[in-house]
Structure 1
Amino acid sequence: MSLSMIPTEAFTQVDNFSEQHIIKPDAALDKCMQNAANNGLPDISVSAIQGKFLMIQAKMMRAKRVLEIGTLAGYSSIWLSKALPADGELISLESNEKFAQLSRENIAYANPSCRVEVKHGAALETLDTLQGAFDMVFIDADKMNSAAYLRKAIDLTRPGAVIYVDNTVRNYNILLDEHTQDPYGIGIRAVYPALQQLQDQGLIEATNIQICSSKGHDGLAIAVRL
């Protein structure tokens, strides 16, 4: 059966089935999502399965410093913080002041053992103020600037660090339309030549994985810093 013949609700059902067996109850994560809904934030956080995937990735690389671009309510931030040691650090960037404040409250309730800081402001400007090398970067903010965030992440990561760019498909018709005028489509399409250029420069090795989940059909680009 082709992907187009699988009903969309099947992806949600599979995610729900997986979560029942794999995701442990977590009051802080539940509260984070409830606070996001109560405050009218868009329902665009990563799913629980995807959040745990990010946590496992950080654990696998024994990350101590993680940079997240796009905080929203702090759901993925909480997941990532679970992977870090007590002397670890997570810095998350959020341009919306309301979102930044809510995420700080949600993260404080989660009481992570590592240091977590949510910086409010335009990420392209905030990135220029950061110092030191990060072990992992998760890019999940405004899609028009994803390629720019990716390029800036190169200067903020050590060799061997891993950079993730979320939502690299979302709408495949727009993604594959070289004449699209859709701002979202223009933004995600720009990620691919950026990955190609950075590979050609010998700065990264990258791939892109298609994802089918409760969030629909999407993609995740993964790049290793050389």
Structure 2
Amino acid sequence: MSIYEQVDKYAERFLIGEDDGLGHAIENCTQNGLPPIRVSAMQGKFIMMQAKLIGARRILEVGTLGGYSTIWLARALSHNGELISCECSSDFAQVARSNVEYAKVAPKVDIRVGAALETISRLDDIPFDFVFIDADKSNSPNYLAESVKRTRKGAMIVIDNTIQDARSFLDPNNMTPNVLGNRQVYKLLQEYEARGELIATHQQIANEKGTDAFVLAVRV
């Protein structure tokens, strides 16, 4: 166990503890062979708190996987809140639906299967208060652009895994789709800031997965 994982596990004992809904989601995802790429427990609680702080009533999630982050975000909503989550895999979506049902947040969650950009294009015009982007990194710039169009002023946009591996990200010879997509995210954020549409920052993180970063942006 890395030192980062040890620190996370220590904090989780005090700040999260035993959580039946989340524990079930992790176990169910493992049993169904989903990749272990969910957000950490502390990250999940962090985005839940951000959504709660801005009083989010309508949330868009890009990348459901097994519904672990979906559960966290749904917990930020009041009983009449709405969370629309986009997932390209019908198998993953089936697992996620069972997980949100077990966690007793299913009435607030609408998991839609298909290419996320197509799903988003068919959404109504009611703006979102909070967006969490955690899907294929090559498309992150497109998800960001759509999020800016579909959020109200004061809304928050969080993009996960914008660095993933620092050396690979900074290597000028690395032209893989995920790295190029993440680099484009930073360029777009600069453009949006220059036009006065967003205020953005990023936070480097170290946890059980190693080192990474995520972006926080606010619509202005």
Within 1, Cα distance between the matches of 2:40 and 2:168?
A: 23
Within 2, Cα distance between the matches of 1:98 and 1:92?
A: 14
Paired position in structure 2 for 1:171? 165
Paired position in structure 2 for 1:71? 64
| Alpha-carbon shift at residue 113 of structure 1 (Å) | 7.3
Pick one of 188, 194, 204 that aligns with 1:194: 188
Within 2, Cα distance between the matches of 1:41 and 1:223?
A: 29
Name the stretch that deviates more: 176-185 or 153-162: 176-185
Question: Is contact 1:46-1:76 (8 Å) kept?
Answer: yes
Within 2, Cα distance between the matches of 1:179 and 1:126?
A: 34
Q: Secondary structure of 1:58's partner?
A: helix
2:145 paired with 1:140 = no
| Alpha-carbon shift at residue 115 of structure 1 (Å) | 1.5
Paired position in structure 2 for 1:222? 216
| Alpha-carbon shift at residue 183 of structure 1 (Å) | 2.2
Give per-residue Cα distances to partners, 1:90-145, cap 9 Å, x unaligned: 11000111101110111111111752100000001111111211110000000100
Pick one of 52, 60, 64 that aligns with 2:53: 60
One-letter amino acid of the counterpart of residue 26, structure 1? D
Give per-residue Cα distances to partners, 1:174-207, cap 9 Å, x unaligned: 2112331222212211111111111122210111
Question: Is contact 1:161-1:225 (8 Å) kept?
Answer: yes
Question: Is contact 2:205-2:213 (8 Å) kept?
Answer: yes
2:159 paired with 1:159 = no
- Please, what TM-score do these two structures have when normalized by structure 1? 0.94
2:106 paired with 1:107 = no
One-letter amino acid of the counterpart of residue 176, structure 1? L
Paired position in structure 2 for 1:86? 79
2:122 paired with 1:129 = yes
Give per-residue Cα distances to partners, 1:66-99, cap 9 Å, x unaligned: 1100000000000111110011001100011110
Structure 1 moving runs of 4+ over 4 Å:
none
- Please, what TM-score do these two structures have when normalized by structure 2? 0.96
| Alpha-carbon shift at residue 33 of structure 1 (Å) | 0.6
Q: What is the Cα-based RMSD across aligned positions, in Å?
A: 1.2
Question: Is contact 1:86-1:113 (8 Å) kept?
Answer: no
Within 1, Cα distance between the matches of 2:175 and 2:12?
A: 37
Question: Is contact 1:147-1:191 (8 Å) kept?
Answer: yes
Within 2, Cα distance between the matches of 1:191 and 1:66?
A: 21
5+ residue gaps in structure 2?
none
Question: Is contact 1:146-1:187 (8 Å) kept?
Answer: yes
Question: Is contact 1:84-1:114 (8 Å) kept?
Answer: no
Percent identity reads 46
2:116 paired with 1:118 = no
Question: Is contact 2:100-2:106 (8 Å) kept?
Answer: no
Question: Is contact 1:90-1:114 (8 Å) kept?
Answer: no
| Alpha-carbon shift at residue 49 of structure 1 (Å) | 0.7
5+ residue gaps in structure 1?
1-7
